[in-house]
Each structure stands twice: as structure tokens, then as C-alpha cells.
Amino acid sequence: MNSLWLGLGLSLVLLAAIQNVSGAPNMICYYDSKGFERQGLAQFGLQDMELALQFCTHVIYGYTGINPDTYELQSINKRLDMEQRHFSQITALKDRYPYIKFLLSVGGDRDLVQEDKYIKLLEAGRQAHTRFIESSRDLVRRYNFDGLDLSLQLPRNKPRKVHGEVGSAWKSFKKFFTGDFIVDSESETHKGQLTGLIKDLGSAFSASNLLLSLTVLPNVNSSWYFDAPAIAPSLDMINLATFDFLTPDRNPEEADYTSPLYEAFGQNRLGHYNVNFQMEHWLLQRVPAQKLNIGIASYGRAWKLSSESGDTGMPVVQHTKGPALAGLQTKTEGLLNWAEICQMMPNPGNSKPVRRVLDPTKRYGSYAVRPADSSDENGIWISYDDPDTASSKAQYARAKNLGGVALFDLTLDDFRGQCTGDRFPMLRAIKYRLLV
């Protein structure tokens, strides 16, 4: 296994060298600088970045934010980005990887002060838009990035309520099946304003030879906010973050596949909570497939199980109890990276392993389960992509002739190779499937 992957690694270096010539598929590598500041084994360093770069065609540096008063683009971590010169450290890598494009991203659910300012920016009119555009162009240029990525924090689909409130039976019936309340009664107006902003950004950036990309964050409903045919010409790429359709925070009482490729039928699942639906939504509006990249998460989502959740683990799992305990490395409730999931699999050092359930159809993804014990403790259910299912998604991207794949993000891949010894197993598996 290890030597096979080593061989793959070597051949990928060669393939990477020719990829800009051959117009090979995009491998978009999100880099959340939060990973640089994690501690211990989760600390992602510049050497790790360098190792990853041989696989990437684009690096997206996250995240910057919007100043709520002036609507200018600004650093939200000045100590790291500027004082420790991390912006420059990252773009300095362009010297050795001149064919990789480095974009600076805004939003990404990291810009947490006054979150409604993304909507406010849309409403704020021409002058505010100009300030956003000019400040973005300045920041991007000053730190030698090749462009801007818009990971806009727009209102999300409301998660489906498992326990419908008492009251109008019709109302709870409707909510149950659509999963949505009206979260933004002005969404049509906002869509129009966003189209204007993206068009203006697009002209300003292309005039300056800079790239512009859009990232659709999880559960931002594309039908509400994006006029696909109108904005696509202004964008160099569109990255769909097609994962976290359910999360333990949003859906504490039921667990399901967080990023199925296709709709898993039955149990009143929502038809739009899968990769294929989201991709088709954009393709059906005649957005060129080459502009679209499919997003894959390098982490899984973990729910706590109760004794009422049963022990089959078969999703949809009911009566879950919110996010599972944080992992030792990533230290985030309800989130585990592949290295952490891997360590929970059966092995000699592990007295309470999880059971891994693979998906031979390759349509839904894998999960791992450990039912709650008699004292109602230690139950966990994890939905995740592993190198195999990520590879199936890359295959899908090829079959649909898409631009490529976007990995969210590098710092949550198993960059130390703790699982099997392969460093960046997700990234490698995707890249390999994109190329051969």
C-alpha cells in the first residue's frame, strides 16, 4: 500500500510539471491559515504547504473579512497575516511554483463580526461596492496574490426541524418536507444587487489581470442568491462547497450522510442535499462545466449517539445528541479529520473501535459507528469522505467534464501521514483520479 502510494507520489510530481501545458483539471487547494496556528500534531507548517503544492493548480488563502463600517476588504488576523508576514510567506512560494495561482479569500465563515454585513454590503449601493472593489484589488496586489475569491457569508437554508412545533399542522408539514423557512424575504433583490457587484468586480479585476472566483458556502441556497447565467461570465471559477448538508450543530437530533454524491432515497430526505443536485443546478443554467469545481471536505462530521439511536448505524440515524466530543488534534466539537477517524478504526491500541461501513455503490459515502453502551455513553456516528470516496467524486468531476475539484482544506487532510504513512492521502487520491 505504502509503496504503491510512494510510486504514485513520484509520478504525480512528473504529471504536475506538465499540467499547465496540457490544461489538466483544476486541483483547488483551500488553505485556512487557522491550521497554521493550531497546536501540536495539528499544526500545519510551511514545509507541509510545500509538499502539498506539487498537487495544486490553485491555492485559496482563507480568510479575510469586510470592515462593517467602510465595506473595505481587511485582514481579520493582522498579527498572522501582516506582522508575521504570512500573506507574503505564502505568496513567496510562487517563485518556486510559478504555474500555481494564489487567491485571497473573503468570508468562509471565519469573518464573524456582524455577520449580516455581507447582506448589508449588497444593499449599500454603488459607492460602498466601489470601496469594496478597490480595497480588494489593493490588498490582493499589495501581497502579490493572483486574485480574489468570494466565499460570501450569505443566509443559509434553515435546517429541518425534527420535532415540529405545535401549531399549524400544515406549517410544520411544509417545513418538514422543504427544510426551509423563508430566511430572506428580499432574496430576489439581493440576487440582483449581487449580480451588479460581481459584474463590477469582474471588470475591475480582469482589467488588472487578476482572477475572480466564487465559492458557494455549504447551505447557501444557489437558487436564492446567484443569477448563474448573468454572473458566470465575470467569474474565472465557481467552487461549490458541496458538503455539510447536515451537521451536528445544525441538525443535532438526526444524523445522515453529510456529503452524498447522489440523493439517497427514502426517509423524506431533502432532494437538494447532494452533490449532483447542486452541480446540475449550475449546469442546467448553461454555466460552462469547465468553470465549475466540486468541493470535497477533508474532515468528517461526528454526532453523539444515544441508546435510542439503535445500533445498526444505518442513516438517517435518529435521536442523536448533537456534536460528538472534539478530537485530540483538531479540538473542534462534531468535527474529526481523517487522521482522527483513522485512529478510531479497529487496531491493537484501541479498545472501543468504531465499525466502518463502506459504500460499494459509491453514491453516498462511508460512515463509521459505535453504538452507545449500556450506560448511554460512548456512542458516535461519523459521516466522512475518505480517499476512496473522494476519488469517486473526482471521477464524477471528470465524467461531467467539470473544471476540477476543490479540497476544503489542506490543513485538515492527514498531512503528517498518521493513518497509513501517506501524507495528504485525500489530496493525492483526488489528484490521481483527476489525471489518470
Provide the binding-site residues for ligand NAG, judged by CB under 6 A.
Answer: 178-180, 221-223, 272, 278, 281
Cβ closer to ligand NAG: 156 or 321? 156
Residues in the chain, overall count: 436
Report in angstroms how near the CB of residue 241 gets to ligand NAG at its nearest: 12
Which residue blocks in 274-357 are alpha helix, DSSP H?
Answer: 275-283, 338-344
**Cβ at position 175, least distance to ligand NAG in Å:** 10
Q: Cα(361)–Cα(134) distance, rounded to whole angstroms? A: 49
- Give whichever of 279 and 412 is closer to ligand NAG, judged by the CB atom: 279
Q: What is the DSSP string of 216-258?
A: E-TTB-HHHH--HHHHGGG-SEEEE----SS-TTT-TTEE--S
d(CA 296, CA 390): 7
Nearest to 251 by CA among 311, 318, 155: 318
| Residue 306 cell numbers, joined | 444515544
CB of 222 to ligand NAG, least distance (A): 4
Residue 105 or 221: the one with the smaller Cβ distance to ligand NAG is 221
Report, in Å, the least distance between residue 281 CB and ligand NAG. Answer: 4
Q: Residue 418, Cβ neighbours under 10 Å: how many?
A: 18
Type and span of the H or E element at 201: helix 187-207
The 10 Å Cβ neighbour count of residue 283 is 17
DSSP β-ladder status, 101-107 and 73-75 = unpaired
* Element housing 207 (H / E): helix 187-207
Q: Which is nearer to ligand NAG, 76 or 270 (CB)?
A: 270
Nearest approach in angstroms of CB 212 to ligand NAG is 21
DSSP state of 328: T
Query: Is 160 or 428 the residue whose CB approaches ligand NAG more closely?
Result: 160
Ramachandran sector of residue 310 (left: φ over 0; alpha: ψ -120 to 50; beta: rest): left
Nearer to ligand NAG (CB atom), residue 51 or residue 230: 230
Nearer to ligand NAG, 143 or 225 (CB): 225
* Residue 276 CB, nearest approach to ligand NAG (Å): 12
Q: How far is the CB of 269 from ligand NAG (least distance, A)?
A: 13
> φ, ψ for residue 148 (rounded to 5)?
-120, 140
Helix axis angle, 387-399 to 425-435, nearest 10°: 30
Residue type, 170: W
Smallest distance, ligand NAG to C-beta of residue 10, A: 41
| Pick from 215, 208, 220, 218: nearest CA to 235 | 215
Handedness of CA 69, 70, 74, 78 (dihedral sign): negative
Nearer to ligand NAG, 97 or 176 (CB): 176
Q: Rounded CA gap, 39 and 36, in Å?
A: 8
Residue 265 or 348: which CB sits closer to ligand NAG? 265
CB of 83 to ligand NAG, least distance (A): 41
3-class SS of residue 382: strand
Q: Please, what is the minimum distance in Å from the beta carbon of residue 15 to ligand NAG? A: 34
Taking the least distance from each CB to ligand NAG, the nearer of 36 and 226 is 226
